Amino acid sequence: MRVLLAGGAGYIGAHTAVSLLDAGHDVVLLDDLSGTSAIAADRIETITGRTAPLVVGDASDDAVVEEVFTAYGPIDAIIHLAAFKAVGESTQKPLEYYSNNVDTTFALLRVGLAHGIRSFVFSSTGTVYSDPADLPFTEESTTSIDLSNAYSKSKRINEVVLADVARVNPDLNVTVLRYFNPVGAHPSGLIGEDPAGIPNNLMPFVARVAVGKLDRIGVFGDDYDTPDGTGLRDYIHVVDLAEGHVTALEKAEPGYAVYNLGTGRPVSVLELIASFEKAVGRELPKRILARRPGDVAATYCDPAKAARELGWVSRLTIDDSCRDYWNWQSKNPDGYATV
Amino acid sequence: MRVLLAGGAGYIGAHTAVSLLDAGHDVVLLDDLSGTSAIAADRIETITGRTAPLVVGDASDDAVVEEVFTAYGPIDAIIHLAAFKAVGESTQKPLEYYSNNVDTTFALLRVGLAHGIRSFVFSSTGTVYSDPADLPFTEESTTSIDLSNAYSKSKRINEVVLADVARVNPDLNVTVLRYFNPVGAHPSGLIGEDPAGIPNNLMPFVARVAVGKLDRIGVFGDDYDTPDGTGLRDYIHVVDLAEGHVTALEKAEPGYAVYNLGTGRPVSVLELIASFEKAVGRELPKRILARRPGDVAATYCDPAKAARELGWVSRLTIDDSCRDYWNWQSKNPDGYATV
């Protein structure tokens, strides 16, 4: 298959590109580089020994997407990972987040359907589940549009649009992948997460402390109703996640399908930090802080549907994730800007 | 105030333009004429004796909206009525409905905020309420994104976006008006509803039968749990509705506010037909058909919040609506295409 990978130079995108190329698919990367670097594309080629052309442009612009189809078609499938993804920033710049994250979907669908694509795979999020009583979340758990941030709401809006588009395009496969907490990096240490500013998420924050860019890990709340009092999350190794995209594409049948991509094994904040300390080989400075508004005690999925229907299961552990993330971060202390 | 009225040549738009001009406000109409005619703009001037320039263009195109601000600014407020609105068609063309109805909001907000508008009034719908147990619907009744058609979902998506945009623009007034069932026409008979094809809604269908363009009224179900077995709706005269926009604009305070615009007095399908027959002066052919998928037994609002906070109440009755609609339809049997 020839796949247009929108957002293909980002964290999930670069790993998905590697998995697709390793599986023998052709890949065209489309990325505006607003959240990553063109170096990621070079590294993808270094890892796989294969070429994946990078088109630098805005996936919400029909003309740009059209240009990709013209230059690199015929294209069989689109994997849409092009999104603004900083949860905190989305709360401050909602219009930018809604318009970017929704308009990319509109443009990719319009141009892709005009060119007869067969599959459209969309990166959604486990934060669309809204009722903690449903834990572990299955694909049938309650979702909502009344979520705590514009990022999550923009993802849910896209799901609503995609379900209707699938209904009127019965030959099209539309697969929505609800990610839990992506962590880790490719074992080569050549590609990984490269967040701008102070990271919102735990593992990149811990890694920045480990590499000396930040002083101390903040643990937001140790009085949750969980085994050690800290929040439980479902951390999924980004290589496992990337494989999920390949499987979704290869097993895809016409229609609309939603899959959770997570491990189903909740890990606490303190457990993650301990695992990372093991990878680094020393203790890291940390302190307990107040709970952070919007955080929930626990979120993790039941990944059984993906196992049953796609044959996909996560294979890597939290220790693998911490080891690989640290390998990437220590080799690239300034991310792709490291010289 | 100087108001940019997007969708200003449409059914609600033309009546809102008349109300705004009559109240002394300046109005610039922006309409792509996809659902109406430029004749509406001439008629607005005939009725009011005032000029409202019409810009023919797409409100989802930033450059078009920018041009309006450049040519006719400074503009104080935007009233956003620019939407595809055929519920049945929205089910067949969801991508077109979502992208048009959401992208107009994005473009109007982006350009309007850059130019310092103080108010943004949005036309939403009473169909966002999702739990019949809440009848009569107040603004606090349960809403959902899991609605029966893409039109209603696109309106709810816009509400979600607007609530967040209001939150980060504390000096901006954002008012969402949830319309119930707009009917009637201006008493002059010069402007009115001009739907393309076979109307989805009851009153335009009845009017087409009365004027001889359609054979017979279909009553979709007479076995609902309502007094006469037919569906109950909250029909609001379009002149009352238009006044609601003026009041919302004049009373507007910074922040996000939602108001139901309806009468609070449910009217059955058979009652509406009887009222229309009275206006026409003869009985109209009709037959009972099966229930229509997606229809609900009853929907009507509690309009108390608009009365309390805006001082707005509906003044016109279903008989007024039928008389005025028939006056428009009989004088303009082919709508604005009547020569």
pLDDT of residue A196: 86
Question: Could B103 and A98 be called an inter-chain contact, meaning their C-beta atoms sit closer than 8 Å?
Answer: no
Query: What's residue A338's pLDDT?
Result: 82
What integer best gives the mean pLDDT of chain B?
A: 97
Residues of A in contact with B113 (CB under 8 A): 95
ipTM for the whole predicted complex goes beyond 0.90 = yes
Percentage of chain B beyond pLDDT 70 is: 100
Q: Distance (Å, rounded) from C-alpha B339 to C-alpha B114? A: 42
B81 vs B4: CA distance, rounded Å: 10
Structure confidence at residue B252 as a pLDDT band (50, 70, 90): confident
| B93: chain A residues, CB-CB within 8 Å | 168
Mean pLDDT over residues B79-91, rounded?
Answer: 94
DSSP 3-state of A173: strand
- Beta strand A181-183 with A217-220: parallel, antiparallel or unpaired? unpaired
Q: Which residues of A are catalytic?
A: 151
Task: Give the closest-approach CA distance of A323 to chain B in angstroms.
Answer: 39
Chain B closest-CA separation from residue A319 CA (Å): 39
What is residue A294's predicted lDDT score, i.e. its pLDDT?
A: 83
Is the CB of B168 less than 8 angstroms away from the CB of A94?
yes
pLDDT tens for A97-135 read 999 999 999 999 999 999 999 999 999 999 999 999 999
Residue tagged 């990149």 (tokens): A204
Does pLDDT of B58 surpass 80?
yes
Q: Residue B155 pLDDT more than 90?
A: yes
Q: Is the CB of B160 less than 8 angstroms away from the CB of A168?
A: no
pLDDT tens, position by position, A160-212: 999 999 999 999 999 999 999 999 999 999 999 999 888 989 999 999 999 99
Whether chain B has a CB inside 8 Å of the CB on A94: the answer is yes
Spatial CA neighbour of B336 closest among B103, B49, B9: B9
**Residues of chain B neighbouring A164 (CB-CB closer than 8 A):** 91, 94-95, 98, 150, 153
For residue B196, pLDDT beyond 90: no
Q: Is the pLDDT of residue A27 over 80?
A: yes
Please say if the pLDDT value at position B338 is more than 90: no
B76 touches chain A (CB under 8 A): no
Nearest CA in chain A to B98: A161
Distance (Å, whole) CA B204 – CA B194 = 8
Summarised one tens digit per residue, pLDDT across range B68-77 is 999 999 999 9
pLDDT at A71: 98
pLDDT over 90 (residue B234) = yes
**Residues of B with catalytic function:** 151
Task: Provide φ and ψ at A108, rounded to 5°.
Answer: -65, -40
pLDDT given at position B200: 86
Cis preceding linkage at A94, omega within 30: no
Looking at the complex, report in whole angstroms how far the Cα of residue A68 sits from the nearest Cα belonging to chain B: 21
Q: What angle do CA A321, A326, A330 make, to 5 degrees?
A: 160
Look at residue A200 in the predicted model and tell me its pLDDT.
86
Q: What is the pLDDT of residue A197?
A: 87
Q: Which is higher by pLDDT, B196 or B59?
A: B59
Interface A–B counts its CB contacts (< 8 A) at 66
* Interface check A148 vs B, CB under 8 A: no
**Is the confidence at residue A339, as pLDDT, over 80?**
no
A144-148, A175-179, B80-84, B202-206 — which is least confidently predicted?
A144-148
Q: What is the pLDDT of residue A252?
A: 81
